[in-house]
Chains A and B, each alone.
Chain A
Amino acid sequence: MAKYDLNDLAIIALDNLGITDYDKKRDVLKLFNSPYELLTVSDEKLAIIGKIIGENKIGGLKLSLNREYIDEITDNLDKKSITAITYLSKKYPALLKETPLAPLVIYAKGNIDLLNSNCFAIVGSRKTLPNSLKFSENIASELSSLGITVVTGSADGGDRSAILGALSSGNIISVLAHGHDMIYPESNRDLIEKVASSGLVISEYPPSFPARSWTFPIRNRIIAGLSRGVLIISGEKKSGARHTANFATEYNREVFALPYSIGIKSGELCNELIKNGAYLCDSVDDITFALGIDKQEKEEKIDLSVEESAVYIAIKDGLDSAVLLMNKTGLKAYEIMPILSSLELKGLIVKLMGNKFKAVK
């Protein structure tokens, strides 16, 4: 059986025409009973299409409806081990299909079965505090080990931490705001490749489509559309995470947010979301409970020495700087430093800039 049927090929051809306006592409397809008719389109229909997509694009369209040309596109995708999944395909994620503005084609690289798995999105701003990053990494790791697929973007910060947490289990989808060849930020290329090999990387754009400032917010509709719920790790008042949260509400998905104390810039969005009715999430249980996912209670026992637990408790009480901790515990600098390192290694605390410490468990 061929990989793509005629309908798929017609949609792929249309999608690779370089039309960025979603509505125009959909309007073109509405002219036909089945998309494959586009391949043998009559001149009268072409004139109507020209009115929709612009006369100057008609020449290009005619050329790209050539079967050889389409084969070239699909060969090229095959070469890059990218699978194009059209909205007519059985592989197309059902949850996403229900949403308005569902992309015509998903270009997927990796384990495409994940598209129809149980998905949950974790997103956050690029400037997320280290303790929140650690938290999101932990959540991503726990959810993915429960068989839930973590959906996120590809940026530094919140997205990256979610990827790092879920990467080892393979239950991870990274949604790009650009084609597969145009990774942004470039420094995350290695990470994205790792995601493609253990999980799945998807994009609604053909491989050579570059990132634009407007592609990021509309990419977020896919993150929200794929998932049953969305956890917002961090975000300033104006942040891309806000779009994800808005789309999630629009699509009737559950929204979770990590609470922040007052005065923390990167947490303003989260607190606002909670104020407006989002779930407050400070442990993975909040998510599993709300989504009705079974979770075996596993008691994690971490061995702590007397001094270690004293310092750990002090940090949990909100004493964050080394000076405060030393005053509280009476330990000297050279005594407290090994303890702090040890707690960090055990994954109980993280170190922030300027020698501040925050508990993450």
Chain B
Amino acid sequence: MLSITNSIVLIGLDGYLVEVEVDLTRGLPKFEIVGLPDTAVKESKERVRSAIKNSGFPFPTKVITINLAPADLRKEGAGLDLAIAVGLLRASVEGFTRDVSKTVFIGELSLDGSVRSVSGVLPLVLGAKKLGFNTVVIPKSNEKEAQYVDGIDVIAVKSIQEVADFLAERSYNVSEKIEYKTFQKKDKINDLSFVKGQFMAKRALEVAVSGGHNLIMIGSPGSGKTMLAKCIPSIMPDMDFEEALETSKIHSVAGVLDLEDGIVSERPFMTPHHSATNVALVGGGNALKPGLISLAHNGVLYLDEMPEYARSVLECLRQPLEDRVITVSRAKGSVKYPANFMLCASMNPCPCGNYGSETAECRCTQSQIKKYRAKISGPLLDRIDIQLQVDNVEYDDLVAEEIPESSQVVRKRVNQARLIQRERFKNDDILVNAQMSEVHIQKYCALDAKCEEIMRKSYESLGLSARGRSRIIKVARTIADLDFSEEILPKHLLEAINYRSMDINER
């Protein structure tokens, strides 16, 4: 007796069809799984056996051969349990008449016959839809994320019993679809209205988010860099469904998706600890999992105390910052994960934090300070458009009664600036000013004589380095967009010059 059941495995974010072929023949009872299974898949025979028995079905006392086709595709994880069990049931028990040629089964089994959640259900369901299936059977606890996928029937099951009901065409429920809308899960803790003072830094955040510019904040300890950074997602435009789906897919694969929500609707804010390794950051490892930069896709990657990170970890960021995807290549294969994040970093002016302070004494030697700053290499700094100094907050600022602008007000302006950019770049395959190449700069950022004069002067008297030039122009373009100005005016350029504090040669 032969039965074929469909399931799907993930490689990266893409789903690949796996046909579970079950064959029963007479002979000394034996249970064999072939077709390049990994350990977790091999172990599934123990789980399947107990689950079927404990659900009240007979377990066939025959030679059981299970082939996972195609044989050259590596199968990992416990997600194939359910498909194997279904194949066995259909091969051995009478009455399961439903046609399952257009149905996919995903789920891990527990010994008592219940179906456990698996990671990556969202990309699996999307993959099933793409492969032309019309029904997908998934664990009940993963129901939420699948409900956002249109055009495929989702049947969420808690146990083998429920699957049996479905197979026997008795009773089953098709989950309702959920319309995507953004929701703020947490109370609004991180809002610009709670940040006292820091007007220049807040303005810089607004500019950075409007133009998609990466950002580094330089300031003494306790000046509020982290608090400012945490507010960035609150002023970013809401994620649309496509963006939310992309991000949720990655979170689902990594197994960090909130099963209650089922979708990531707030822009992610990732803060790796400075002991993070290359693999943790860019992805890889045994299962080629996405790294933190991919989890920060469409959101913010915040590196607190940037010079404390290992040099090699920081240099890993260069390519994804440029290409906005990361290709993780290992012996096992290579996987592409999107990594379109806004980099936000912070650092102290020197190792002890008091450099340049009038009152506190800096105990660092000149070479210590230089070494500290040199940790962030030139090429990396080249990818950070905005380098801003954070004020030392005065006590008076903290107790000021005036309530600063809320994030919502700022976000409105950001949205408008983004709209202008989208209009401008509609034929250019880029979205924001930060992505402009030299060609775009020539096309959209013409400087008049007065602006050129300012640029020239800034090199002479402030000692700006030459490679800062295009960065300044890009930022000036964003500032002009925030001002609804077609041309870049001197005041826009002058403001942009303010944001290059790391470029200014030490004098």
Partner-B contacts on A (CB < 8 A): 126-127, 129-130, 133, 137, 156, 160-161, 164, 185, 187, 236, 263-265, 321-323, 326, 332-334, 337-342, 344-345, 347, 351-356
Contacts and interface: CB of A to CB of B under 8 A. Distances in A.
Q: Which 6 pairs across A and B sit closest by C-beta, in order of nearness? A: A353-B356, A338-B494, A341-B494, A338-B491, A333-B199, A333-B203
Given A126-B366, A322-B199, A322-B200, A133 B507 contact: yes
Interface residues of B, number: 43
Contacts of A137: 507
Contacts of B501: 351
Contact of A353 (B355, B397, B462, B497): B355
A236 B370 CA distance: 21
A264 B479 CA distance: 37
A345 B199 contact: no
Contacts of A355: 200, 389-391
Contact of A323 (B197, B359, B367, B457): B197
A353 B355 CA distance: 8
B161 interface: no
B414 to A, nearest CB: 13
A127 B369 CA distance: 11
A326 B199 contact: yes
B389 A263 contact: no
B395 to A, nearest CB: 12
A211 to B, nearest CB: 13
Interface of B: 197, 199-200, 202-203, 218-220, 223, 349, 355-359, 361-362, 366-367, 370, 389-392, 394, 397, 454, 457-458, 461-462, 479, 482, 490-492, 494-495, 497-498, 501, 506-507
Given A185-B367, A265-B359, A333 B220 contact: no
B355 A265 contact: no
A302 to B, nearest CB: 13
Contacts of B506: 156
A162 to B, nearest CB: 11
B507 A129 contact: no
Contacts of B462: 344-345
Contact of B495 (A321, A338, A345): A338
Nearest to A126: B366
B366 A156 contact: yes
Contacts of A353: 218, 220, 349, 355-357, 389
Given A126-B366, A130-B356, A333-B202, A354 B494 contact: no
A161 B356 contact: no
A161 B507 contact: yes
A129 B199 contact: no
Chain B CB within 10 Å — which of A126, A137, A338, A340 has the most? A338
B174 to A, nearest CB: 53
A263 B197 contact: no
A344 B223 CA distance: 24
Nearest to B389: A355
B507 A164 contact: yes
B203 A127 contact: no
A130 B501 CA distance: 13
Nearest to A236: B361
A334 B495 contact: yes
20 contacts: A127-B355, A127-B362, A129-B358, A130-B507, A133-B507, A264-B359, A265-B358, A265-B359, A322-B391, A323-B394, A326-B199, A334-B203, A334-B482, A337-B203, A337-B498, A338-B494, A341-B498, A354-B223, A354-B356, A356-B358
A263 B461 CA distance: 30
Contacts of B366: 126, 156, 185
A265 B361 contact: yes
A323 B454 CA distance: 26
